[in-house]
Structure 1
Amino acid sequence: MNDSKKPRLMNNRQAAGYFLLAAKNAKLSRGLTEELLKEMYYCFDGFTEEKGEEKGFKWYNSLFTEFEKTLNDSRKEIVQEAKRKKDEQFGTLGKLAREHFEQKEKDSTIRIYKQAFLETPPENLKVVLEILFVNYPLSEEDLNNILKEHNIDEKILDRVRKKK
């Protein structure tokens, strides 16, 4: 096995060295670097490698979930305000045209999800759906309809729904 395929195991001091290099590259202050390094050694002593990895990435991923939720909420408000202004500006005909294009977009999104269910191996479905949820938001009702149509167990989506 060549070196690139071997797992990289390191001791705490080596891991801290990588952290210090990252702190240098990120131009963190001395105070913040010392505080984080102290916390890092506290975590080394308080968690096994497996628990540290699990809890660390769980927290890190939750940041994206919360950020995405905030971003989606903000985006919804902006879209609603834009729709209201367009409806006022273009009247009934403009509103009907907008609703028509929104329905076409929704239909396209549903087709993308259906294709994902057909072509994605079950072991990869959660990851694919996480990506779809971020890029192509879908209502709970539409998602449930697709699940029923493809006989997919709703439990597979528990982790994905938490990210919505």
Structure 2
Amino acid sequence: MLGKLTTWLRISGYDTVYVGDLNIMNRRKEDTFLVTSFKDRILLTRDRELYERCISSNREVIFINSNTIAEQIKELSEKGFEFRIVMDRCSVCNNLLRRPSEEEILDVLRKEGLPEDFKTRYEFWYCENCVKLYWMGSHWRNMVKFLKNIEER
């Protein structure tokens, strides 16, 4: 599965559907659904059989050879995908992010057990669907370093 790659694509601003989020239990139905749905999207897969079905159906598809997330990002970068950290989409549900209200920030900070003065230290983005708050903290800096290391390979 390509769950980690999905997260990185969303972090990079790509509108991304992940098959693991679709709850399709039958493999054959899943493949048929993927081949026929989301025609305006590029299908990424590590499944050779699904890849071949897409090719024979004239479906735009990219076969991902790599097993590790760093190599998968490198592979897609070489195909023209740009990986950078933008705050457009929720990394969990793909919903568009927006600037939160003061009350929404405080509500999430309280639920997470973070001090209220935390809100003065960062810029925030908010997912209405997940009720998730994003900010440029240490996790953000680590992601930037990770992408930079991939670029330098």
Greater helix share, structure number:
1
TM-score normalized with structure 1 length:
0.24
Greater strand share, structure number:
2
TM-score normalized with structure 2 length:
0.25
